[in-house]
Chain A
Amino acid sequence: MKFDTIKPFLCALAVWFVFAYTYEAAYAGLRDNTLIDAGKHFIYSTSLTPIDPNIKKASLGSKLFEDVRLSFNGKMSCALCHIDKFGSSDGLRNSIGIGGEGEGSERLDSDGLVVPRNSLPLWGRGESDFQTFFWDGKVEKEGGKVRSQFGDYAPSNDPLTVAIHLPFVEIREMVNDDYEVKSSLKTESVKSAEKIYDRLLERVKENQEYVSAFDELYFLKLDEIEFIHIADAIKVFIQSKFRLQKTRFEKYVKQESVLSPDEVAGGLIFFGKGKCVSCHSGRHFTDFKYHSIPFVQAGFGKNGFGVDYGRFNVTHDPDDLYKFRTPPLTNVEKTAPYGHSGSALTMEEAVIYHFDPLRLISTENMTPLERSEFYKKLLASSEDSELIPYLDDDEVDTLILFLKTLSYEESSE
């Protein structure tokens, strides 16, 4: 065949390709633009003043964070539950406190006392716009005041500093649950808390390295060091180690990087059909409000016997039964298991619990009490779950691809 004969065909083919390509590109442009606009509107609408933590204070805080002497029985430290490799959460459904040995699932084999909530990661907790702490918001800043179980005696007007005070005195986390402690401290009252702080402070003061660090960084003589300074150093450490960093999604919104078509599809579900952003909004991917999502309860529960009333424990308002603070989604890929009791083992399960919890539980294997609790949770969630429509498996898969773009890029150290 002569070239001349096929020339018209080749031309036609070329024209067709160009046409198809621009068509596709224009369409991809629409999707990208929609997602970028949504990201700007719902997530990155406010600009954040970057904090500049003092590196030396952070390094002092880091030592305190890892120091087991800062627990009542000398075996526990913050770092043991907020471990790096699990995205600074501990990789267990319910955390194991005093008495536990080893890291992650090794701790399950030891005879530690279980803390009835899933450990929270610490990413972004040091930022100034993060003011509501714990699954039930038991420490939060409202109207310029920090509300917590310290009542009017809050050690600080900074909610993170107050939050850092709590693990040291919370039964089961860092205080031994033996008979003596039970009878004298279990009330978790301010007075008994002070007793513990005094004892831990003594231990810090016995350490020459700490004493000279406080002298150098805080200009404090030995008898001027107080527990609040320990908490402050840990706070600076959290601000520096767990600071917010750019994620692939943020780079995408700022047009510094691209996402794959599937990731974009997942993002469009996150901001559109899935309505995830009606709760997981803002740069921490949380509205800092309380909602009930019918995650099944795993473990003993904060209220015991498999019951966790969530926000109700703080406000005693019946409308708050079974509600929990919307969890931030920064690095969510790395913080399995999920939910306040860690009952969702994968991101997929976590997403499915929002709109189709019955798929994940076998009601016939539950005790009547477990079922009864689950009905109540379903009822409590009815208002919120009206929001989330049915998603098919492909949609859940793309959503998860999108959730993975909310991780910090490697080499975050």
Chain B
Amino acid sequence: MNKRKVYIFLGFSFAYLAGMFSSDIKSYFIKEVYSTEYGNLVFKCDQAMREHFIAKQVVAAKPNAEHASSLMQAEIALIDCQDYDLARKKLLSFGLNEYDLIELSLRAIEEKSEDIRKVVEIHEIRYD
């Protein structure tokens, strides 16, 4: 085999491999770049939903003006979930799929909890 042929062969193989894994490579970089930002939003939205849930329970248990006002504040705080939704859409449009996003959420959750059961619980609530 002469040198030319080796180059052509290597070139083809590289292009073939790159083609085969291109979306994974892209996803990998996108995930690395956005994982902190996305993880933060997962946490914030989760927190906002918990607070909102509590505020609703408080109003149900003791309906009064003060608690109604707290509920309004908790509703405003849900804007964090809007940010989370937008980030999801953005990452999907960049070519990530649902599983990539789940992976990012899991990374975020694992960072904050040592207990795997908690991971499963939160995971179930969010993605069932």
Contacts and interface: CB of A to CB of B under 8 A. Distances in A.
B82 A273 contact: no
B59 interface: no
Contact of B72 (A31, A41, A390): A41
Interface residues of B, number: 18
Contacts of B47: 273, 389-390
A273 B69 CA distance: 12
Interface in A59-87: none
Nearest to B40: A392
Contact of B76 (A27, A271, A387, A390): A271
Contacts of B78: 272
A277 B40 CA distance: 24
B86 interface: yes
B42 to A, nearest CB: 14
Contacts, number: 41
Contacts of B51: 273, 389
Contact of A38 (B48, B70, B76, B82): B76
B86 A268 contact: no
A275 B70 contact: yes
Interface in A364-413: 387, 389-390, 392
Nearest to A31: B79
Nearest to B82: A30
Contacts of B80: 273
B74 interface: yes
Interface string B48-92: 100100000000000000100110111111111010001000000
Contacts of B75: 272
A304 to B, nearest CB: 35
B86 A271 contact: no
Nearest to A395: B44
B69 A278 contact: yes
B48 A273 contact: yes
B81 to A, nearest CB: 11
Interface residues of A, number: 18
B82 A272 contact: no
Interface string A299-322: 000000000000000000000000
A272 B79 contact: yes
A34 interface: yes
Contacts of A277: 73
Contacts of A34: 76, 79
Interface in A14-50: 27, 30-31, 34, 38, 41-42
Contact of B77 (A27, A273, A392): A273
User: Could you tell me the dominant secondary structure of chain A's interface residues?
Assistant: helix
16 contacts: A27-B86, A31-B79, A38-B76, A41-B72, A268-B76, A272-B76, A272-B77, A273-B47, A273-B51, A273-B76, A273-B77, A273-B80, A275-B70, A387-B70, A390-B47, A392-B40
Contact of B73 (A27, A31, A271): A271
6 A-B pairs with the lowest CB-CB distances in the bound complex, closest first = A272-B76, A272-B77, A273-B77, A275-B73, A271-B76, A272-B73
A30 B85 CA distance: 14
Interface in B20-60: 40, 47-48, 51
A268 B40 CA distance: 17
Nearest to B66: A278
A149 to B, nearest CB: 30
Contacts of A278: 66, 69-70, 73
A304 B75 CA distance: 43
A154 B59 CA distance: 41
Contacts of A389: 47, 51
Highest count of chain B CB atoms <10 Å: which of A38, A41, A271, A272: A272
A275 B71 CA distance: 10
Given A38-B72, A278-B70, 10 more contacts: A27-B86, A271-B73, A272-B73, A272-B77, A272-B78, A272-B79, A273-B48, A273-B77, A278-B66, A389-B51
A218 B74 CA distance: 53
Contacts of B69: 42, 278
Nearest to A265: B79
B79 A268 contact: yes
B3 to A, nearest CB: 34
Contacts of B73: 271-273, 275, 277-278
Nearest to B69: A278
Contacts of A30: 82
A271 B77 CA distance: 8
Contacts of A390: 47
Contacts of B40: 392
